Structure 1
């Protein structure tokens, strides 16, 4: 079991590291324009992260046994449709998560 001092030191180090990662870009690029490579990364990073999340979510789907990935495809379609329609990531993620939980918990596709 960790002592109170060890927990305090751990929390302090994590807080300091988090603050440093937030403050360093302002220190480095506060008075000048960031490099072009950083602008490219900034533009392309969110779609790359979303692609990795989709791949991670679909990696363990059993494609050859019932329900053949249908809940995953339905919820992926709902999330994409909501996101393109409302342009609200939180709304699409929460509704997609809730829909997936309902489809899996209540075994909606058990007839397959």
Structure 2
């Protein structure tokens, strides 16, 4: 179903406005010099590891260790991601290399 030019522009404007608002609202709520509430500080500390944990669980939820390839591509790629991240402390490098390695293993090796 083709989308008209007018509807496409409305979608683009809505997405741009929403993106801008999500970037601007924190500066309006917490201007420079104003104390950040303890709850927001707490969420800033606990949410990033919680989100990473949920992503890990989501990525490994359908891995079957009881049939070929026994989860080996996932395990190998995860170990490479962990080692690279501990070694280089570079998110882009570790996630990118792990993704490329996983795709190679799934498509060429297993």
Common fold by TM > 0.5: yes
Secondary structure at the counterpart of residue 2 of structure 1? coil
- Pair 1:13-2:14 in alignment: yes
Q: Measure, in 2, the Cα distance between the counterparts of 1:3 and 1:105.
A: 39
* Alignment partner, residue 46 of structure 1: 48
**Structure 1 portions without partners, runs of 5+:** none
* Alignment partner, residue 23 of structure 2: 22
**Structure 2 portions without partners, runs of 5+:** none
Secondary structure at the counterpart of residue 106 of structure 1? helix
Q: Please report the TM-score for the alignment, with normalisation by the length of structure 2.
A: 0.92
Deviates more, 1:30-39 or 1:85-94: 30-39
Q: Please report the TM-score for the alignment, with normalisation by the length of structure 1.
A: 0.91
* Alignment partner, residue 98 of structure 1: 100
1:38-77 equivalent positions in 2, closer than 5 A: 38-77=40-79
Partner deviation per Cα, 1:71-98 (whole Å, 9 max, x = no partner): 1111111101111111000000011011
Moved over 3 A (4+): none
Q: Higher RCO, 1 or 2 (CA under 8 Å, sep at least 6)?
A: 1
Corresponding residue to 1:78 among 74, 77, 80: 80
Aligned residues: CA RMSD: 1.1
